[in-house]
Structure formats: structure tokens, C-alpha cells
Amino acid sequence: MTFTKIFKLEKLEKWVIVVLSFFVFILANYVVSFFSFKIDLSFGKAYSLSSSTKKIIKNLDDVLNIKFFVSSDLPVRLLPLKNEVLDFLKEYQKEGKGKIIVKVLDPKKDESAKNQAQEAGLPTLQFSELQQNKYQISSIYFGLVLSYGTKKEILPQVTNLEDLEYNLTSQIFKMTKKEVEKIAILGKEEKFNPQEDDLLSFKNAAKQQFVLDFIDVSTNSATKEIDKTYKAVIVFDNNQKEYDHQEITAIKNYLQKGGKGLFFVDGVWVKDNLQVVPAKHNLFSVFADFGIEVKKNLLLSSSSELVNFGNQLFQFITPYPFWVKTSIFSQNQPFFSNIQQLLFPWVSQIEIKDKNKALPLVFTSKKSWEQKENFILDPQSIPEPNPKDLKQFIISSYAKNKNQGEIVVIPSSRFIQERYLSRTNDNLEFVLNVLNNLVAKGALSGIRQRVVLFYPLPELPENQKDLFKYLNIFLLPSIFGLLGVFRLTKRASQ
């Protein structure tokens, strides 16, 4: 039975049916536009708000106003991004169920909107684009102003959609907190020149949620203790600093009183010229109190990062076994929410001495080995390992004492330094997860990037690699060959 027979339209002219169908289609679209429905089939639901964001929105006690200031004369390449940001903000508004109000304002056409942007301190952005064979510089607005009660925060530039959820949610969380947690940093001097700051990315991300204070508790300092108002302390080994007795005592006392610590240390020091010397940071005794030993070795792995070596005249890229990549984490640990892969440059082994206090967090692959005496770091001279020496190692650990003091030890001092961060590792996200769980009870843990950038392939044995290789070579031709034989046989039988 056809559509025309169901609705008894046989007697109508075809053009009338077409017109009626068109209006029915328009009406249906109008009705459906009031209802939104989305299915996110991406891995880990990368295009949906995370559970951490939803929880923070649910706990809002007041109305949150989000004003998106966007100029009407945007460069052409930003127009698609504008729509994506709007869709993204609508997700917040929908999740807020009346507690979040989103407004879009154009400071170029609305003088009142321009005044609001200026009062909030929202800067204009400079963009250049090619028009009529000439580069034209345009000044535009493309940022957010958030207001919650008497508090205001801005996101001056929202052109990076990948990090927008973390940036926006962290600002919301910051405004809803009665006080902002403070974190102390030991072993590093604060740098104010971005080009000289090897913690730039970490500081930019962490300062959205915490107050970071670079402190000194050495013998020559006026301060002798780590103040209990600090919710955590981050201790860096910089391959030079020898923590004195006063500093070690201050760290131990802080942890014994229930403090939280995150340590980036080396088992041995690797200098810029690839020479290895004993590590003299004097932090080994701190870890011993928690049942952890950082071994004085360096680990190598078949799962390693590609590294560019050479100088201005000659360069080459090669897998460097001392830069260990891994995706093997302890199960059911909150630190690894949405973490896919970590990179450990020149990492040492961790040995658990007291299983009642400490537990492993991160492991190397089973095809890993160690150097512990005659260190050879030159990528062209690294000796091949003996197969019997290949095994799995622990390369990060968590421990807790009886006074609720907690530490996480990462035996790679360069783990979050600027030059070792990349789009293929989640080092920064992992450290933020650790701090969130130690300090803020995981409030922002697991907020993912908006775009799925990289998912590492699982490590496969050589025989499986060969199997996939030859299947790719012979399977498809074999299928077509069998189909051809089948058709020829069928034709011959006819």
C-alpha cells in the first residue's frame, strides 16, 4: 500500500502532493528543533561532558552566567570554530538545567557589549589573513566572561577546543570554592620569562585550580618548615641540587603530619652531554620511610620514543630506548582517568620494599632491561640486551603512611619539563590527575581533551606482527581469487 493510498491522495494533482510534502517536512523539522539528541560513539566519549564536569555543574548553588563575546567580522577560518564553541556551551547550559545561562554578544555591533568586555578585562585578539593578495590584520573578540555571584573570571581566547572543557570547568570550580588550595614547590626557582621556563605548560594548567608557591626551607632560609596550609608539596630533582639536612627534615615532618607529596627524582643523574653521575639529591631516605626504593640504574625498553639527535650539520631520528613509553598502568587507580600513554625520559626502577605502605602505579613493557654500571647512552652505541635480562619494571609508585601522609614517586626528573611534553603522551594530564586526587579529591580528574588525538597500538609479539603482515598481503587477493574461481565454475556448469 502506497503513501498516497494510505492518506487517500489519489485524486490530487502531483504538484499538490509535492507542496504538501514540503510543508509537512518543514513542520516536522520545526517541531524536532525543540528536542536535542546526540549519540557519542567516540572512544571514551571524547565529545561529551565528563563526569567531573557534570558533578561540578550539579553542585552549583547560584546561577552561572557565561557570556561568549565574538565579533561578527571573524576570519573565515574561525567561523566553523565559532559554531563548535556554541554547541559546546549549549551542552553546559543543558546540563545546568536552568543554573547556567549562555549569552552570545557582538562587541563590534553592540556598544554595550563592547563596554562589558572592556570592564571584564577581555582583550582583543589579533589575526592576519590573506585578502586580495594582501595580508590584513584584524582585531576581534573571541573569549568568555564567567560570573558567579560576585566572582568573575575570563577565558580571553577559546580558539583551542581541545582544552576548552578543562579550562572552562576549572574556572567554574575555582569560582565555586570557598578557598583555593595552595601547593608548595621545592627544588625549582620560579621563572618569569616564558622562553626560559621549563614548567610553563604545567604552571599554566595547575594555576587554573591551585595557588603555586615556590618556597625555600634550606638551612640558609628564614623559613624552616613547610606550612600546613599547603595541601601538597611538589619536589623536583634538577640534576644539581643537593637537598640539605634541614630541607630533608622539613619534607619528612610535613609528610608525617599527613601532608601530600609528588616527587620527580632520578636514580642517577644524566647530564646534558649524556654523561651519568651518582644522584646526590639526598631524597632516597624520604622514600625509604614509605617502603619505596628508587634504584640507582637506568631502564631501557623496546617501547620507546623517537628522538632527534645531531647538530646543525647532521641530524637523525631514531627510537631511543632510554625514553620509555608505556600504557601499562595499575587497574582501578583514579590517577589514570583518560590517560592513554606516558613518556619517561631516562627513568630509574622503583622497588617496593613494604607492600603494606606502597603499591606500583606504572610499569614498563616486558621487553625492558636495565643499565646499572657501565652506562652507555649514545643512541648509536647502546648494546643489545641479553634476552634473559628482559623483564617488566615498576616506574611509578604511590604510598601512604599511618598518619595519612601520601606520596607519588615518579623516578624521572624531566617528566613534565616543557621539551619532553608532546601530543602523543599524557604526562601533563597524569600529573594534574595526581594533584587533583591528592589535593582536591579528584574534582577535575578525567576531564578529557575534546578531540581524540592519539591512541597507542598495543605491543604485539613478533609472530603476531608477522601474522598480520602476511594476512594483509595475501588475504584480499585470495578472497578475490576464490570469488573468480567460484564464478568460473558456476559459468562452466551452466
Sequence ranges of the domains in the chain: 3-32, 50-154, 180-439
The mean per-residue pLDDT over the stretch 341-357 comes to 95
- Whether residue 189 is predicted with pLDDT greater than 60 in this model: the reply is yes
Residue 454's pLDDT band (boundaries 50, 70, 90)? very low
Superfamily (CATH) of domain 180-439: Class I glutamine amidotransferase (GATase) domain (3.40.50.880)
Contact, 239 vs 271, CB < 8 A?
Answer: yes
Calculate ∠ Cα 188-266-459, nearest 5°: 120
364 vs 396: CA distance, rounded Å: 10
Question: Residue 132 has what pLDDT?
Answer: 57
Instruction: Report pLDDT for 75.
Output: 81
Domain at 50-154: CATH code: 3.40.30
Residue pair 335/437 in contact by the 8 Å Cβ criterion: yes
Highest mean pLDDT: which range of 45-49, 390-394, 467-471, 475-479: 390-394
Beta bridge partners of 396: 362
311 against 477, higher pLDDT: 477
pLDDT digits (tens, 9 = 90+) for 101-133: 999 999 988 999 999 999 999 988 887 665 555
Which range, of 106-110, 202-206, 314-318, averages the lowest pLDDT?
A: 314-318
Bridge partners of residue 318, in order along the sequence: 307
Confidence of residue 37 (pLDDT cuts 50, 70, 90): low
| Mean pLDDT for all residues in the chain | 86
The pLDDT confidence band at residue 371, using thresholds 50, 70 and 90, is very high
pTM for the model? 0.73
Model pLDDT for residues 130-168, shown as the tens digit of each residue: 555 566 677 889 999 999 988 899 998 888 887 788 889
| Cβ contacts of 283 within 8 Å, gap of 6 or more | 235, 237, 243, 248, 251, 263, 265
- Say if residues 248 and 425 touch (Cβ distance below 8 Å): no
In this predicted structure, the answer to whether residue 17 has a pLDDT above a threshold of 70 is: no
- CA of 231: how far to CAs of 252, 262, 263, 305, 430, in Å? 15, 11, 15, 34, 18
The whole-number pLDDT of residue 86 equals 92
168: Cβ contacts below 8 Å, ≥ 6 apart: 92, 144, 146, 155
